[in-house]
Amino acid sequence: MHRACILDVPGHGRAGLVAHLLVARAGRRPDARPQRHIHLARRRLVHHEARAHHTGVGDAAKSDKDLGMAGEAFPKGARAEVDMIFIERLQYLLRIIIPGVKSKEFWMLMLHSAFLVFRTVLSVYIASLDGRIVSALVRGRGRDFLTGIMWWMGVAIPATYTNSMLSFMQSKLAIQFRSRLTSYIHDRYLSDMTFYTISNLDDRIKNADQCVTVDVQTFSQSLAEIYSNLAKPLLDIFIYNYQLRQNVGGRFLFLANIVVHFTAWVLRVLTPKFGKMVAEEQRLEGELRFRHSRVIENAEEIALYGGHEIEKNVLDRAYFNLIRHVNRIFRTRILHGMMEDFIIKYFWGAMGLITCAIPVFMPLKGREAGPDLGMRTQGFVTNRRLLLNSSDAFGRIMYSYKEITELAGYTARVAELLEVFDDVKAGQFQKTLVSSGTTAENARVLNSRGVIVESEAIEFTDVPIVSPNGDVLVKALSFYVRPGMHLLIVGPNGCGKSSLFRILGGLWPVYGGTVHKPDPSKVFYIPQRPYLSLGTLRDQIIYPHTVDVMKERGVTDEDLLEILKLVQLGQIVEREGGWETEREWKDALSGGDKQRIAMARLFYHRPRYAILDECTSAVSMDIERIMYTHATELGITLMTVSHRASLWKYHNFILQYDGQGGYVFTKLDAERRLRLQEEKQQIEHKLVEVPKLEARLEELRALQADRQA
Ligand SMILES: Nc1ncnc2c1ncn2[C@@H]1O[C@H](COP(=O)(O)OP(=O)(O)OP(=O)(O)O)[C@@H](O)[C@H]1O
């Protein structure tokens, strides 16, 4: 029926859909752009809220220089433009968020699409109903008018339901996409130590925490919105183009399409790289949030140092960089908005009028002037509504281009994260070498790989110790630790003692030689500042086990209490209000308490090997003795890094770095070494006295000489 209506509208009908659409855009919808802006502003607000709620902490090794690199948000190769790379990345992400036709997301999308189609059908029906009602009014047919109103009210029920369902489905889809992506990313981020390597061995991703939380959320939301914003207009355009072809013939359609496509192409070419800009904005937001979280994390140290001024400068600088960039985007948007309005509203409007005029001045053969006034009114009203809808549809598609470029930015951020995950999992790192040595030589070492063999004992054969910055700390290290041996590792600061454990723990790659090591479950690590997790007091002792695993192992709370008593921490359970108490334990416990909790953890786990990295620096000699003797009684083989001579007696082998790249691995006769150490200290003490004694001797000689004279 509406096909006839389009033909019947005098002066407009024959020009066809695109022409009407252009005319309608020129004359109507001044609200289209404000709506768009409100919509974007709302979305932006949601992002900011999401950021404000996030309290995660990211990589601790960033320089202020990062903040100044506005143009270098993406590493080489990474792009945020609407091009083939964007399509490929989007496909990659789509495969994750919509895994197949049997997935929930696919069927949600189908349902969403069904609602979109239904809404278009309703719109077409409402347009024709509108025409019928106005026609009845013009003709003075009260009965027809009332029937029309009843249908109008009737159709409101499915129409309002459809609209509500559409916005519900859009939000659901966004959440569903986010859940899929987050669970996929969490799986990859928290496996194979990716969370460590991504921030320590590779410098492509600056704020992984922000990517995993805010960027994924923004991407999901943006994708769900774009689907809604594009699917319906595309459907509308298809329907109206089809009708136009039927009604006015192909030549007007062809002309209009040429004009529209050409100007759309011009608009696209002239559209600034908003994708890259929003991606950079996200990065700068991440930097600002990261700097704030550092202040919270290190509040005590900063307060005691009185470092508030310098921290304020750091925060101000991060904020200034962000705002400078946001202002740049705003300025770019002014120009782009003018150009967009000019082309879409005015240029196309003018073109629409011209195209409309063609069939009026050059009517198609066989077209009649038009039936009575009522029919013409019905046709006009119906047609006008259809045209407004379709004009909206076309405009929405054009305005969506900016959103697509922004989606390209979010897509680049998320896809880049996953690409770096893949690379680091495959052992391919990209890090700027700041080594003081020959960079080419160091880069060669960093690019080669050694062999890892699982065994009962620990043995390093010609393994280079290389820092992620490319510094070769030891060219080829060889030593072994068999069960029952206790190895002491000593050397100056920064010589690579802890790095040895990083290689053993699989955090750093084996750059050469062979590493024999047992299954990771048999090696337990206690650092100087033990990590305390979120959870109950019990969780701190059994970390990383869960209560279920603890029960499976037959360990009870009483057993845990016995362990705590051993390290003289039995009172803590009562003091803190029981095993179930949850606190931010890192702030609630003293340095010594934390180290004793870590010792209790060791006794709970009873591993084959324990790596003790300066882990008794904050406890008394008494506790230190208990810790070492009990660990030895439990049959735990110890590897200790410590500068304390009091620990020598608990070890029978020593690995001594000289700090120049050399080392000695030998048996440790602690008693003899202590004796020698004592003798050395006595001699050094005596030597300090020598200059004084010599000076006194000189004085005495001078006095004697005076007397004799
Ligand atoms: N994540 C990292 N990225 C870059 N360089 C690192 C990293 N971790 C350690 N390094 C560097 O590796 C070198 C060796 O560090 P390591 O922690 O092994 O020293 P250490 O001998 O244990 O020192 P200390 O006695 O002070 O604890 C240092 O120069 C350090 O700066």
The residue out of 425, 458, 478 marking a domain boundary is: 425
Q: What CATH number did the domain enclosing 490 receive?
A: 3.40.50.300
Nearest CA to ligand 1 atom 19: 494
Q: What is the distance in A from the centroid of ligand 1 to the CA of 138?
A: 87
**Higher pLDDT residue, 363 or 498?**
498
Report the percentage of the chain scoring pLDDT > 70. Answer: 78
User: Does one domain contain both 357 and 218?
Assistant: yes
User: For residue 360, is it within any domain?
Assistant: yes
- State whether the beta carbon of 200 lies less than 6 angstroms from ligand 1: yes
Ligand 1 in contact with 468 (CB < 6 A)?
A: yes
182 with 64, same domain: the answer is yes
Q: Does ligand 1 come within 6 angstroms of the Cβ of 642?
A: no
Backbone angles phi, psi at 472, to 5 degrees: -85, 105
**HSE-CB of 251 using CA atoms within 13 angstroms:** 7
CA 353 to chain centre: 49
Please report, as a single letter, which amino acid is at residue 33: R
3-state secondary structure of 610: strand
Structural contact between residues 486 and 474, judged by C-beta atoms closer than 8 angstroms: no
Residue 432 in domain: no
pLDDT at 29 over 50: no
Position 284, amino acid: L
Cis status, amide bond into 544, omega within 30 of 0? yes
Query: Do 653 and 682 share a structural domain?
Result: no
Do residues 294 and 396 share a domain? Answer: yes
Quick check: is 51 in a domain? yes
Q: Strand pairing of 663-667 and 653-657?
A: antiparallel
Residue 61: pLDDT over 70: no
- Mean pLDDT value across the chain: 79
Which tokens is 691 given?
């200059």
Least confident span in 24-28, 444-448, 509-513: 24-28
Assess whether the C-beta atom of 494 lies below 6 angstroms from ligand 1: yes
661 and 681 fall within a common domain: no
Q: What token pair was written down for 113? A: 């699409």
Look at 81-90, 247-256, 312-321, 584-593 and tell me which has the smallest mean pLDDT.
247-256
Higher pLDDT, 210 or 479: 479
Residue 469: CB within 6 Å of ligand 1?
yes
Higher pLDDT, 202 or 79: 202
Mean pLDDT across 678-704 = 87
Q: What is the CATH number of the domain that holds 389?
A: 1.20.1560.10
Same domain, 655 and 706: no
Confidence of residue 1 (pLDDT cuts 50, 70, 90): very low
| pTM greater than the 0.80 cutoff | no
Higher pLDDT, 130 or 639: 639
Cβ burial of 48 (10 Å; 0-12, 13-18, 19+) is exposed
Q: Are residues 21 and 68 in the same domain?
A: yes
Q: b/e for 447-457, b at 16 or more Cβ within 10 A?
A: eeebeeeeeee
455 plus 420 within the same structural domain: no
Q: Among residues 396, 425, 454, which one ends one of the domains?
A: 425
Kindly state whether residues 419 and 502 are assigned to the same domain: no
Q: Is residue 435 part of a domain?
A: no
- Residue with the smallest CA separation from ligand 1 atom 30 is 494
Confidence of residue 391 (pLDDT cuts 50, 70, 90): low
The CA 467 to ligand 1 mean position distance, Å, reads 7
Task: Note the pLDDT tens digit of each residue in 290-348.
Answer: 899 888 888 877 887 788 888 999 999 999 999 999 999 999 888 888 888 787 777 77
Residue 207, in any domain of the structure: yes
Same domain, 609 and 682: no
88/209 same-domain check? yes
Q: Which of 224, 116, 122 is nearest to 176 (CA)?
A: 224
ipTM given for this complex: 0.95
Task: Give the total number of structural domains in the chain.
Answer: 3
Domain coverage including residue 363 = 2-425
Tokens of 369: 């002037």
Q: How many CB atoms lie within 10 A of CB 357?
A: 14
If one residue of 497, 501, 507 were mutated to test the ligand 1 pocket, choosing by the most ligand atoms within 8 A of its CB, it would be 497
How would residue 62 be classed by pLDDT, with cut points 50, 70 and 90? Answer: very low
> Is 467's C-beta closer than 6 angstroms to any atom of ligand 1?
yes
Tokens 């369902």 belong to residue = 165
Report for 256-260, 262-266, 491-495, 601-605: range of highest mean pLDDT = 601-605
Of the spans 8-12, 58-62, 338-342, 581-585, which averages the highest pLDDT? 581-585
CA atoms within 13 A on the CB side of 241: 14
301 and 172 within one domain: yes
Residue that finishes a domain, picked among 635, 652, 668: 668
